[in-house]
Homo-oligomer: A and B are copies of this chain.
């Protein structure tokens, strides 16, 4: 009885505090995504399947490693024949909240993105026809496609639909910052709270806002001072051809930023301290004190949410008719 009374007293307080906090420019991640479980399960297998690459060695998970924040933690990725990738692998975690995919936003959604690396000669170096033929040759996959799509025909459209559905499940709720947003005042420390205030008052929040704390706009890298890099990526310019889009990139999410080092499209910032100081200088014409940077970094580390929590998938074996991987052929 006392229990019920306590609930009655506490609930309205949480609701009031929740509704006040809902006015924050960052929103908590929903605790689950609306996805088709069977389709996502098939997509999980495909995400981990290196047979989508020419070598039979590289899977989506190679560069978007779900054990490591959905990234490879390298400046730029390793592709087919150890070719050096042109840009830092963005995290696949919470990527469903992005305005578009890739640093330059050239893919409109996760499904379109998933097809890219498979046929990129510097990445997985296969092609959509071969990848589909390989998957179609594997009896257990064909059976699973039949159950999920009501037809056992395998094509790149279905493959990327399934991978995208799995990726939609890769959201990371329950970070300490989200707990705080949802009303638990104890979830973050005074220092972390100061860091968040500084993050807002300094202007970081202008671009890093919303559910994913970024991912929802394109911005120029170096609005105040030019960003000096040897990296050749030209950003949105590659998509739109507009001079004004040179060095304009999708703002990355700051969710799980503690795990997704190194930072920036060129991966040149190896620590959060370095990344925060560079951003302040080139985007905000600011120079933080050591203490201020430390507070912001402390805040950023509260954005680490629950990491993917699932059984490692077991992949169905190839059939005698499955085209063989060609790891050492050019």
A-side interface residues toward B, CB under 8 Å? 48-50, 55-57, 62, 65-69, 72-74, 78, 81-82, 84, 258-259, 261, 270-271, 273, 307-315, 317-318, 320, 324-325, 327-328
Contact = CB atoms under 8 A, between A and B. Distances in A.
A82 B84 contact: no
Given A73-B325, A74-B56, A78-B327, A314 B273 contact: no
Contacts of A74: 55-57, 325, 327
Q: Is the interface of A mostly helix, strand, loop or mixed?
A: loop
Contact of A258 (B258, B309, B317, B325): B317
A72 to B, nearest CB: 7
Contact of A318 (B49, B67, B73): B73
A328 to B, nearest CB: 5
A261 B273 CA distance: 47
Contacts of A327: 74, 78, 82, 84
Closest 10 CB pairs of A and B: A82-B82, A307-B314, A312-B312, A67-B315, A271-B320, A259-B317, A57-B78, A81-B82, A68-B315, A84-B328
Contacts of A259: 317
B314 A311 contact: no
